[in-house]
Chain A
Amino acid sequence: MTILERGTTMRLLPLLTAGLLTAAGPAISATDIQFWHAMGGRLGEVVEEIATKYNESQDTYNLVPTYKGGYEDTMTAGIAAFRAKQQPNIIQIFDAGAATIINAKGATIPVAELMSDFNAEDYIEGVRNFYADSDGNMIGMPFNSSTPLLYYNKDILAKAGIDTPPATWEEFEAMAPKIKEAGYQALAQSHSPWIFSENFHSRHNLQLATGNNGYDSTDVEILYNNDHMKMHWGKVKEWLDAGYYGFYGRGWGDNQDAFVQQKTAMWLGSSGSFGGLAKSAEFEFGAAELPYWKSITDEPYGTFIGGAALFAMAGKPDEENAGVADFMAFLTSPEMQYFWHKETGYVPITNAAYELAKSDGYYESTPDAEVGITQLTQRAGEWTKGYRLGFYVQIREAMYKQYDNIFSGASSVEDAFVAMEEESNALLDRFNASMN
C-alpha cells in the first residue's frame, strides 16, 4: 500500500509542481519545498489555497503540499520517508505523535532555531508550550490548533426549559433529567481520550504523568488512575445507564451525527468542528466552554490544544530550510492565521492574529468562534501546558478499550483504570528503552 502510494505521489509530483509553477508565473528557478499534510476534504482545500497564496507572494520558493491520508498515515509516511532519506521539508504531526518526533533527536530542526526572529510570547497561552521542549523552546509550529468545546442545540434546550448550557458538570447533572423528559439524550462525545482524559486534567489543573507530564524525561509513569478520573468516569457510566449520555461508537463522526440528527441535545467536540456543523446542522446551535467539576476546582483552568503541528525535517539543504522558515513566517502572519481561523474554525495561534480577528469584528458577528480561544487563554496552572508521552497512540488505544469496558460493564471503573495504568506504563517503559 505504502509502496503504491509513494509511487503515485512520485509520479504526480512533477505534474503538481508543473501546475503550480505555471500558476505562479515566472518562478522557474524557485526551490521546491515539500509539505506533507493530513488535511482532507474542505481543510485540504484550504491548505491548497494557502500554498497558492504563498507561491504567489514570492518567487524564491515553491511550496508543494501533498495529502498523505489521516494523521497516523501521514506520520507513518514521514517516518518511512525519513528512514529512506526521502523526507519532505515539512511534515504535519498530530498531538499524540508529538513525543515520537520530538524525542527523536536529529529528526527535526526546532522552529525556534529555524526562524530568525522567533518570540514564544507572540503565541497565545495554551498553544505556546504544547509542542515545545521543557524549557519552552518551540520544536513544532502549531498548525491546526483546536480545543474541546461543548456544542448545544438551542431548540432542544429551550424545549427542556433550559436557558444556558451547563458551565459545570454539577449543572449538567441537574439539567440532564429535564432533557430526557423532553425526549432527548443530554450528551454525546467524540474522542474520550482527548476530552475526558487529557483535557480533563488540564481543565482541573491535575498532573497526568510523572516527569512534568512527560516534558522532562521519557522515564515516566502515567497518572490517569486517580480519584478524580475515577469519580468522573463513574458519573459518565451512571449517565449512560440513566439515558443521559449517548455512545455511538468510537468514530468521531458517529457521535457528531447523533448531534446533527438531533438525538442528543449537547455534544462535546472540537473547536475545529464549527465549520462542519454550521453546514450540516439544520437547527440553531451554540458553542460553550468545556464544563468542569466544581467539586474539584472552584474556577476552571485553560485547556490545551489538540490538532497538529508542522515540523521542519532535518537533513535538507540550507536553502530549502530557509524556505521552510520563510513559509512558516508567512503562515503565522496575522492575515494568514485569520484566514485559516475563519475558513476552518481552528484557533489563530498568535496574539496578533487574535487581535486582528477582534478588531475586524469577527466575534461580534460569530461569537461562538471565540469560545475556543477564550478557553485556551483562561488561567494557566502547573499542568495546563500539555503532555509529552511516548507510544501515546497505543496508550489512547488502551484508554478506548477500557472506556468500552466501563460502558459495557465488562469491568468496574476501578479495574478499568488499573488495567489502563498497567498497559500504559508498559508502553512508556518500552518507549523509554527505545530512546536509550
Chain B
Amino acid sequence: MKRVQYEHSPIPYLFVAPQIIIIVIFFLWPAAQAIYQSFLLEDAFGLSSQFVWFRNYSDTIFSGAWLQAAGFTIIFSTLVTFLSLGLALLLAVKANEVIQGASTYKTLLMWAYAIAPPVAGLMGNLMFNPLIGDLYGFMNAVGFDFDHKLDPVDASFVVILISVWKQVSVNFIFFLSGLQGIPKSVNEAAMMDCNSSTRRFWTITFPLLAPTTFFLMVINITYAFFETFGIIDTTTQGAPGGATTTLVFKVFQDGFRGADIGGSSAQSVVLMVMVLALTVIQFRFIEKKVHY
C-alpha cells in the first residue's frame, strides 16, 4: 500500500525547538516532578520513600498556616495589581501630556524597572528600619503608631508599598506605549464632541487601552503571586505572626528551608492549579470585554 506523503520541511521544527526544549526542561519536567513528589513522603535525603496518596495535601492545605497564607495572598495580589496598574496608568496619562522635558520624565519613571525585587526589598528594609529608617521615623512622626515588626496591617503596608513601587515602572512603560499607539485623529475627533477630558478618557482612551490593560493584569497577578517572593524574603520574612506570608513564600519556607519536599511539592501543585485557573478565568471572561 502506498501512503500519502506530504512534503515536510524540518526547518520550522528547528525554529520552534529551542522554545519547546526550554518549556520541557524548565516547566513540564519540574512540574511533573512536583506532582510526583507531592504524593510521596520521604526523608530529606531520599533514603526512605513511601506513597501516601493525598496526605501531603491534607497535612499542608488544611493547616491554619496555609489558609492564613492563602488569605493574605489573595488580598495582597488584588491590592498590588490594582494599585500598581492604577498608579502606572495615571502616571502614563500625565507623562503623555507633558511636552517639555518629556523624555526626562519618562526615563525617571522607568528606571525602577531595572531593580531586582530582592534589591527593592533590601532598600525598603533600610527605609523601614526601626533604628535608622527614614520612612519608619516619618510614619511615626506624622502620628501613626507605626510598627511593622508587630502590626500585621503595617507589615502588609510595607510589602505592598515596595511591591507596587517596583511594578509601577513596568506598567508605566506598557501604558505609555499603549497611549502613544492611539491615533491622534481619534483624540482630535473626540475633542470636537466632548469638552470634558475625564469623560474623553473613560469613553475613548481607556477602552482603546483595554488590550494593554488586560495583558498587564495577567502579568501583574503573576508578579504578585510569584515574583514578590524576593521582596518578602528581604523585608518581613512573613512576619509578624505569619501575616505577610504568601503561598510562594511558604513553599520556599517548607521546601528550601525546612527540607519537607513532599509537603512543599503539594503546595506548589495547588498553587500551579490556582494560577492556571485564574488565567483561564481571565481569558474566558475578562478578555471577552476587550476589543482589539
Q: Indicate whether B59 reaches chain A with its CB closer than 8 angstroms.
A: yes
Does more than half of chain A's interface fall in helix, strand or loop, or is it mixed?
helix
Measured CB to CB, the nearest residue on chain B to A261 is B131
Residue B131 contacts which of A248, A398, A426, A430 (CB distance < 8 angstroms)?
A248
Q: B257 near A257 (CB under 8 angstroms)?
A: no
Chain B, residues 44-74, CB within 8 Å of chain A (1/0): the string is 1111101010010001000111000000000
**In the docked arrangement, what's the CA distance between A36 and B150, Å?**
36
Q: B45 near A104 (CB under 8 angstroms)?
A: yes
**In the docked arrangement, what's the CA distance between A157 and B3, Å?**
96
List the B side residues contacting A434 at CB < 8 Å.
41-43, 48, 262
List the A side residues contacting B151 at CB < 8 Å.
408
Q: B45 near A257 (CB under 8 angstroms)?
A: no
Interface residues of B in 209-250 (CB under 8 A from A): 237-242
Measured CB to CB, the nearest residue on chain A to B129 is A254
Measured CB to CB, the nearest residue on chain B to A407 is B150
Q: Indicate whether A4 reaches chain B with its CB closer than 8 angstroms.
A: no
Q: Indicate whether B259 reaches chain A with its CB closer than 8 angstroms.
A: yes
Number of contacting residues on B, CB 8 A?
37
Q: Interface stretch among A72-80, A198-206, A228-236, A327-335?
A: A72-80
Q: Indicate whether A105 reaches chain B with its CB closer than 8 angstroms.
A: yes
Q: A104 near B43 (CB under 8 angstroms)?
A: yes
Q: Indicate whether A435 reaches chain B with its CB closer than 8 angstroms.
A: yes
Q: B47 near A106 (CB under 8 angstroms)?
A: yes
Q: Indicate whether B121 reaches chain A with its CB closer than 8 angstroms.
A: no
Q: Interface stretch among A48-56, A296-304, A389-397?
A: A389-397
Interface residues of A in 231-274 (CB under 8 A from B): 247-251, 254, 257-258, 261, 263
List the B side residues contacting A410 at CB < 8 Å.
152, 241
Measured CB to CB, the nearest residue on chain B to A103 is B43
Q: Indicate whether B149 reaches chain A with its CB closer than 8 angstroms.
A: yes
Measured CB to CB, the nearest residue on chain A to B256 is A76
Say whether, besides A248-B130, A263-B131, A79 and B44 are in contact (CB < 8 Å): yes
Measured CB to CB, the nearest residue on chain B to A105 is B47
> What's the nearest-Cβ distance from chain A to residue B92, in Å?
33
Q: Indicate whether B96 reaches chain A with its CB closer than 8 angstroms.
A: no
Say whether, besides A261-B131, A408-B241, A410-B241, A435 and B259 are in contact (CB < 8 Å): no
Q: Indicate whether B117 reaches chain A with its CB closer than 8 angstroms.
A: no
Q: A435 near B43 (CB under 8 angstroms)?
A: yes
**In the docked arrangement, what's the CA distance between A263 and B241, Å?**
25
Chain B, residues 244-271, CB within 8 Å of chain A (1/0): the string is 0000000001101111101100000000
Does more than half of chain B's interface fall in helix, strand or loop, or is it mixed?
loop
Measured CB to CB, the nearest residue on chain B to A435 is B43
List the A side residues contacting B41 at CB < 8 Å.
430, 433-434
Measured CB to CB, the nearest residue on chain B to A77 is B256
Q: A97 near B259 (CB under 8 angstroms)?
A: yes
Measured CB to CB, the nearest residue on chain B to A97 is B259
**In the docked arrangement, what's the CA distance between A407 and B151, Å?**
10
Q: A104 near B44 (CB under 8 angstroms)?
A: yes
Measured CB to CB, the nearest residue on chain A to B52 is A433
Say whether, besides A254-B130, A402-B241, A249 and B149 are in contact (CB < 8 Å): yes
List the B side residues contacting A394 at CB < 8 Å.
253-254, 257-258, 260
List the B side residues contacting A249 at CB < 8 Å.
130, 149, 239
**In the docked arrangement, what's the CA distance between A251 and B130, Å?**
12
List the B side residues contacting A75 at CB < 8 Å.
259
**In the docked arrangement, what's the CA distance between A250 and B155, Å?**
13
Q: Indicate whether A400 reaches chain B with its CB closer than 8 angstroms.
A: yes
Residue B241 contacts which of A79, A106, A247, A401 (CB distance < 8 angstroms)?
A401
**In the docked arrangement, what's the CA distance between A273 and B150, Å?**
26
Say whether, besides A247-B149, A423-B64, A408 and B253 are in contact (CB < 8 Å): no
Q: Indicate whether A414 reaches chain B with its CB closer than 8 angstroms.
A: no
List the A side residues contacting B63 at CB < 8 Å.
423, 426
**In the docked arrangement, what's the CA distance between A356 and B42, Å?**
45
List the A side residues contacting B50 at CB < 8 Å.
436
> What's the nearest-Cβ distance from chain A to residue B274, in Å?
22
Q: B257 near A72 (CB under 8 angstroms)?
A: yes
Interface residues of B in 106-145 (CB under 8 A from A): 129-131
Q: B260 near A430 (CB under 8 angstroms)?
A: yes
Residues of A within 8 A of B (CB): 72-73, 75-76, 79, 82-83, 97, 100-101, 103-107, 247-251, 254, 257-258, 261, 263, 391, 393-394, 397-398, 400-402, 404-405, 407-408, 410, 419, 423, 426, 430, 433-436
20 new A-B contacts at CB < 8 Å, known A73-B256, A250-B149, A405-B240: A72-B257, A79-B45, A82-B45, A82-B46, A83-B45, A83-B46, A101-B44, A250-B239, A394-B253, A394-B258, A397-B258, A401-B65, A404-B150, A404-B240, A408-B150, A419-B64, A426-B59, A426-B63, A434-B41, A434-B262
28 A–B contacts, CB within 8 A, in A order: A72-B257, A75-B259, A76-B257, A79-B44, A104-B43, A104-B47, A107-B47, A248-B130, A250-B237, A254-B129, A254-B130, A391-B258, A391-B259, A394-B257, A397-B253, A398-B65, A401-B65, A401-B242, A405-B240, A405-B241, A407-B240, A408-B150, A408-B151, A408-B152, A419-B64, A423-B64, A433-B41, A434-B42
Residues of B within 8 A of A (CB): 41-48, 50, 52, 55, 59, 63-65, 129-131, 149-152, 237-242, 253-254, 256-260, 262-263
